[in-house]
C-alpha cells in the first residue's frame, strides 16, 4: 500500500540552510561569528595581503607602507577594536563549536565531509599562525610602529629560519583556503546565493579568489627571502 503523504510535510532540500532567528543565544553567537569572519576580519586579511605585497617593490616601499598604516588616526584603538578582539572571538568561538561537536555536515551535502574537515583544520592552523605572527611582529623585538624602517629586515630575519618559512607557507595557503571557503559559506548561510546552481557558480568565484590570494601571499614571502633581500633589508635599516 502507498503511504499517505501529508501536504504539510516540509520538503528537505539539499544545500546550506540560511541562518534563522529565534534559535536562542547560540544563534546570535554563531551569527556574530559568521559576520566577523567577513567584516572586519576578511577586510583586514585583504588589506594585510595587499600591504605585504608592497615588499615586491623593495624594502623601502614596504617600510613606507608600514609607516602609513601606523600613522592612521587612533590606529591603536582601530587595531584592538577591528582586528585583535574580532580575531580572538572568531578563532576561539570557532574552536568552541568544533569541540562541542556541532557538525554542519548535514547542511552541506554537495560539498562533502572533507570540505567541512578542511575548513576546521585550516581554521586551527590560521589561529595558531595569526597568534604567532602578531606576537613576533607586533609585540616582540623591534617595535615596528615606532621603527617602520626595520619592518622588512624583521620579517626577512624571521623567514630565514627554514622551519618558520615552512610554517608561513603552509599557513598562508591555509588562511586563504579558510577565507575563500568562508566567503562561500557566508553567502550560502545568509541566503545571498539561494539554490544549488547559484552556490555552485559562486563556489568557482571563491575558488579563484582563494588561489589569487594564496599566490599573492606566497609571492610576498618570496620577496622577503629572494635574491638581494638581505642587502635590501640592511640598506633600509641604515637609511632609517
- Helix intervals (H) in 4-55: 25-38, 41-52
- When the pLDDT of each residue in the chain is averaged and rounded to a whole number, the result is 84
pLDDT single digits (tens) 47-64: 999 999 999 999 999 999
**Contact of 30 with 90, CB cutoff 8 Å:** no
Contacts of 219 (CB under 8 A, 6+ apart): 53, 56
- Helix intervals (H) in 39-100: 41-52, 59-70, 75-79, 85-100
Whether the pLDDT of residue 108 is over 60: the answer is no
* Domain locations along the chain: 25-239
pLDDT single digits (tens) 114-153: 777 888 899 999 999 999 999 999 889 888 888 888 999 9
pLDDT single digits (tens) 170-191: 999 999 999 999 999 999 889 8
Give 87's pLDDT tier (boundaries 50, 70, 90).
very high
Whether the pLDDT of residue 111 is over 80: the answer is no
Q: What kind and span of H or E run contains 116?
A: helix 113-138
Whether the pLDDT of residue 240 is over 80: the answer is no
Q: Spell out the CATH class of 25-239.
A: mainly alpha
**Contact of 62 with 152, CB cutoff 8 Å:** yes
Whether the pLDDT of residue 7 is over 80: the answer is no
Average the pLDDT over each of 15-24, 132-141, 172-181, 228-237 and give the range with the smallest value. Answer: 15-24
**Contact of 137 with 203, CB cutoff 8 Å:** no
Q: For residue 102, what is its C-alpha cell?
A: 556541532
pLDDT value for 24: 55
- Cα-Cα-Cα-Cα torsion 135, 154, 76, 210, nearest 10 degrees, comes to -80
Whether the pLDDT of residue 16 is over 60: the answer is no
pLDDT value for 25: 67
Phi, psi dihedrals of residue 104, rounded to the nearest 5°: -105, 15
pLDDT value for 181: 93
pLDDT single digits (tens) 203-219: 999 999 999 999 999 99
Give 10's pLDDT tier (boundaries 50, 70, 90).
very low
Q: What kind and span of H or E run contains 219?
A: helix 196-225
- The Cα 173–Cα 221 span in angstroms is 12
Half-sphere exposure of 40 (CA within 13 A, CB side): 14
Contacts of 155 (CB under 8 A, 6+ apart): 55, 137, 224
Amino acid at each position: 500500500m502507498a503511504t499517505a503523504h501529508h501536504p504539510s510535510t516540509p520538503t528537505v532540500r539539499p544545500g546550506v540552510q540560511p541562518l534563522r532567528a529565534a534559535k536562542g543565544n547560540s544563534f546570535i553567537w554563531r551569527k556574530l561569528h559568521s559576520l566577523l569572519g567577513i567584516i572586519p576580519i576578511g577586510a583586514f586579511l585583504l588589506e594585510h595581503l595587499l600591504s605585504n605585497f608592497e615588499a615586491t617593490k623593495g624594502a623601502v616601499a614596504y617600510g613606507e607602507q608600514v609607516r602609513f598604516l601606523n600613522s592612521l588616526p587612533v590606529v591603536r584603538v582601530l587595531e584592538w577594536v577591528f582586528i585583535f578582539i574580532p580575531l580572538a572571538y572568531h578563532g576561539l568561538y570557532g574552536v568552541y563549536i568544533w569541540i562541542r561537536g556541532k557538525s554542519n555536515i548535514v547542511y552541506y551535502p554537495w560539498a562533502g565531509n572533507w570540505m567541512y574537515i578542511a575548513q576546521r583544520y585550516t581554521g586551527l592552523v590560521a589561529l595558531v599562525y595569526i597568534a604567532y605572527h602578531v606576537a613576533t611582529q607586533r609585540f616582540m623585538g623591534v617595535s615596528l610602529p615606532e621603527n617602520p624602517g626595520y619592518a622588512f629586515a624583521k620579517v626577512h630575519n624571521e623567514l630565514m629560519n627554514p622551519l618558520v618559512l615552512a610554517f608561513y607557507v603552509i599557513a598562508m595557503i591555509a588562511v586563504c583556503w579558510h577565507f575563500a571557503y568562508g566567503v562561500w559559506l557566508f553567502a550560502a548561510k545568509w541566503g545571498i546565493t539561494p539554490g544549488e546552481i547559484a552556490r555552485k557558480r559562486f563556489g568557482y568565484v571563491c575558488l579563484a579568489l582563494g588561489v589569487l590570494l594564496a599566490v599573492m601571499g606566497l609571492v610576498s614571502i618570496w620577496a622577503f627571502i629572494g635574491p638581494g633581500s638581505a642587502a635590501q633589508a640592511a640598506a633600509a635599516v641604515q637609511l632609517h
